[in-house]
């Protein structure tokens, strides 16, 4: 029996967009395929225009998160996004540290709507983000989320990519704040030795529950495309559950429960 999962971090393929329109039938077939794999829902992270179009087609298969330019987005825009059904806002490539006070009104607005602030943390690949020539990954360290969580304890935060390569910092920050959840999505975490993760989450073989219980299953893969290489992420999380000695209840929280709680599903 396949384990029910919600993929907490996905994007879409440009292949389904032709002349600004979406191939509805193809998308519905993809959804059937993903659910056959045990993926019940996904947190879709793209620009507002694309996500809004997919919301009409995909229904409750997607949890809509709008990616914004945090240096050029105003409060009224954030408000309009939530009124249109947005569940969260994605922050990436800031021109200043995430904890800079100029971003505080955005965080306050998201919190007032009960939304989730999704933060890219750590290294930002240059392959897909060549337009961002003036960024500093130090501005996206997990430590900045510590400062945000202290000031906005009511803001629900999802720390994407576990701060790669600042794993230890992400570990400390994520378990120290009840409003910070995190994931191991992306192309690096699942390639690392399971010993690294075992020592981080279960030092000396004893599971440290606060550091693991708010972890979310997530891939950072391109959905709605011809190839979905999700199996390595299934294997990674399943092997992680095994090496840390996670209970069935804890596995369910990581696979889908934490995302359900974060996004009030």
Q: Burial level of 25, CB count in 10 A (0-12/13-18/19+)?
A: exposed
pLDDT above 90: residue 25: no
pLDDT per position as a tens digit, 195-226: 999 999 999 999 999 999 999 999 999 998 77
Domains (range + CATH), the chain: 5-262 (3.20.20.140)
pLDDT at 202: 97
pLDDT at 232: 93
**CB 214: neighbour CB atoms within 10 A?**
23
Q: What percent of the chain has pLDDT over 70?
A: 94
Q: Which phi and psi angles does 26 have, rounded to 5°? A: -65, -40
pLDDT per position as a tens digit, 43-98: 999 999 989 989 989 999 999 999 999 999 999 999 999 999 999 999 999 999 99
Q: What is the DSSP letter of 165?
A: T
Assign 174 a pLDDT band (cuts: 50, 70, 90).
Answer: very high
Closest CA to 238 of 259, 261, 211, 217: 217
Q: Pairing relation of β-strands 17-18 and 21-22?
A: antiparallel
pLDDT per position as a tens digit, 93-140: 999 999 999 999 999 999 999 999 999 999 987 665 556 667 899 999
């Amino acid at each position: 029996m396949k384990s029910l999962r919600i993929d907490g971090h996905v994007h879409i393929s440009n292949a389904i967009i032709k002349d600004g329109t979406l191939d509805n039938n193809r998308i519905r077939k993809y959804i059937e395929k993903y659910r056959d794999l045990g993926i019940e829902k996904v947190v879709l992270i793209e620009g507002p225009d694309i996500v809004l179009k997919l919301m009409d087609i995909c229904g409750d298969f997607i949890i809509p998160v709008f990616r914004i330019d945090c240096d050029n987005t105003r409060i009224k825009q954030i408000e309009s996004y939530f009124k249109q059904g947005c569940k969260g806002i994605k922050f990436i490539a800031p021109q200043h540290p995430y904890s800079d006070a100029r971003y505080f009104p955005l965080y306050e607005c998201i919190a007032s709507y009960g939304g989730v602030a999704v933060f890219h943390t750590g290294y930002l690949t240059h392959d897909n983000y060549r337009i961002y020539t003036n960024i500093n990954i130090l501005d996206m360290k997990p430590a900045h989320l510590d400062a945000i969580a202290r000031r906005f304890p009511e803001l629900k935060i999802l720390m994407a990519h576990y701060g790669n390569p600042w794993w230890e910092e992400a570990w400390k920050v994520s378990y120290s704040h009840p409003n910070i959840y995190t994931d191991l999505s992306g192309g690096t975490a699942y390639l690392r030795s399971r010993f690294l993760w075992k020592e981080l989450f279960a030092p000396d073989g004893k599971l440290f529950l606060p550091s693991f219980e708010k972890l979310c299953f997530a891939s950072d893969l391109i959905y709605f495309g011809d190839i979905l290489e999700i199996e390595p992420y299934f294997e990674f999380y399943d092997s992680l559950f095994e090496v840390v000695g996670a209970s069935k209840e804890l596995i369910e929280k990581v696979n889908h429960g934490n995302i359900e709680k974060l996004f009030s599903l």
